[in-house]
Chains A and B, each alone.
Chain A
Amino acid sequence: MLFNTIDFVIFLPIVVVFYYVIPGKFRWIFLLIASYYFYMSWNVQYIYLILFSTIVDYLVGLRMGNLSSKKAKLPWLIISITMNLGLLFTFKYLDFATENLNIIFNQIGINKQLPIFHLLLPVGISFYTFQTLSYAVDIYNNRIKPEKHFGYFALYVSFFPQLVAGPIERFDKLNPQFKQKTNFTYQNFANGGRLILYGLFIKMVVADNISGFVDSVYLTPQLYHAVDVWKAMIFYSFQIYSDFYGYSLIAIGSAMLLGIYLMDNFKTPYLAKNIAEFWQRWHISLSTWFRDYVYFPLGGNKTTTSFWLRNIIIVFVLSGIWHGANWTFFIWGALYAIIYILEKIFAKYIKAKDRVSPFSITHLLLALKTFVLVTLVWVFFRSPSFSDALEILKAAFRNWGVFEKTLTIPLSTTVFFGLFILSDILLYNNRFDKWIDKKPYVMRWSIYGLLLFSIIVFAGVENFPFIYFQF
Chain B
Amino acid sequence: MRLIVQNIIYRILTFTLLLFLINYVYVHFFYDKDLAKHSDLIAIIDKIPDSTDILYVAESSNTALAEDDIDRRTIAEFLDEALPGQKVNDLTKPAAHAGIYKVLLSAIPETSNIKTIVLTLNLRSFNAQWIHSSLETSLQKSLVFLKTESPLLNRFLLSFKGYPIKSEREQEAAFKAKWLADPLQFPYNFEHQNVSEWDYWMAINGVKNDDGTTNQALTELACHYIKGYGFQIDTLTNPRISDFNEIIQLCRERNWHLVLNLLAENVEKAEILVGSDLTYLMDYNRDLLVAYYSRKGVLVVDNLETVPDKYFIDQNWTTEHYSDAGRKAVAEKVASVIEQNAKLFK
Given A452-B18, A452-B22, A457-B160 contact (CB < 8 Å): no
Whether, in the assembled complex, A453 has its beta carbon less than 8 Å from a beta carbon of chain B, the answer is yes
A340-366 residues with Cβ-Cβ distance < 8 A to B are: none
CB neighbours of A2 from chain B (8 A): 161
A183 to B305, CA, bound (A): 71
A6 to B156, CA, bound (A): 9
B14 touches A455 (CB 8 A): no
4 shortest interchain CB distances as A-B pairs: A459-B159, A6-B162, A6-B160, A449-B18
Tell me the minimal C-beta distance from A89 to chain B in angstroms: 22
Given A445-B18, A461-B141, A4-B25 contact (CB < 8 Å): no
A414-471 residues with Cβ-Cβ distance < 8 A to B are: 445, 448-449, 452-453, 455-457, 459, 461, 464
Interface centre among A6, A461, A464 (most CB of B within 10 A): A461
A461 touches B22 (CB 8 A): no
Whether, in the assembled complex, B115 has its beta carbon less than 8 Å from a beta carbon of chain A, the answer is no
B161 touches A4 (CB 8 A): yes
A464 touches B156 (CB 8 A): no
The dominant DSSP class at the B interface is helix
Tell me the minimal C-beta distance from A198 to chain B in angstroms: 16
Whether, in the assembled complex, B258 has its beta carbon less than 8 Å from a beta carbon of chain A, the answer is no
12 contacts between A and B (CB under 8 A): A5-B165, A445-B18, A449-B18, A449-B22, A456-B26, A456-B152, A456-B159, A457-B30, A459-B158, A459-B159, A459-B160, A461-B38
Whether, in the assembled complex, A32 has its beta carbon less than 8 Å from a beta carbon of chain B, the answer is no
CB neighbours of B158 from chain A (8 A): 459, 461
Whether, in the assembled complex, A9 has its beta carbon less than 8 Å from a beta carbon of chain B, the answer is yes
Given A461-B38, A461-B141, A453-B160 contact (CB < 8 Å): no
Q: Across the two chains, which residue of chain A brings its CB closest to B18? A: A449
* Number of residues of chain A lying within 8 A (CB) of chain B: 17
Whether, in the assembled complex, B157 has its beta carbon less than 8 Å from a beta carbon of chain A, the answer is yes
Tell me the minimal C-beta distance from B29 to chain A in angstroms: 9
Whether, in the assembled complex, B254 has its beta carbon less than 8 Å from a beta carbon of chain A, the answer is no
**Option from A6, A445, A453 in Cβ contact (under 8 Å) with B161:** A6
Q: Across the two chains, which residue of chain A brings its CB closest to B10? A: A441
Whether, in the assembled complex, A163 has its beta carbon less than 8 Å from a beta carbon of chain B, the answer is no
Whether, in the assembled complex, A204 has its beta carbon less than 8 Å from a beta carbon of chain B, the answer is yes
B11-64 residues with Cβ-Cβ distance < 8 A to A are: 14, 18, 21-22, 25-26, 30, 34, 38
Additional A-B contacts beyond A459-B160, A461-B158 (5; CB < 8 A)? A4-B161, A457-B26, A461-B38, A461-B141, A461-B159
A443 to B242, CA, bound (A): 52
CB neighbours of B160 from chain A (8 A): 4-6, 9, 459
Q: Across the two chains, which residue of chain A brings its CB closest to B162? A: A6
Given A445-B14, A461-B38, A461-B141, A453-B159 contact (CB < 8 Å): no
A86-104 residues with Cβ-Cβ distance < 8 A to B are: none
A456 touches B156 (CB 8 A): yes
Tell me the minimal C-beta distance from A209 to chain B in angstroms: 11
Whether, in the assembled complex, B155 has its beta carbon less than 8 Å from a beta carbon of chain A, the answer is yes
B104-159 residues with Cβ-Cβ distance < 8 A to A are: 141, 152, 155-159
A459 to B162, CA, bound (A): 13
A200-250 residues with Cβ-Cβ distance < 8 A to B are: 204
CB neighbours of B141 from chain A (8 A): 461
CB neighbours of B34 from chain A (8 A): 457
B161 touches A5 (CB 8 A): yes
A448 touches B18 (CB 8 A): yes
A461 to B155, CA, bound (A): 10
CB neighbours of A9 from chain B (8 A): 160
A449 to B25, CA, bound (A): 12
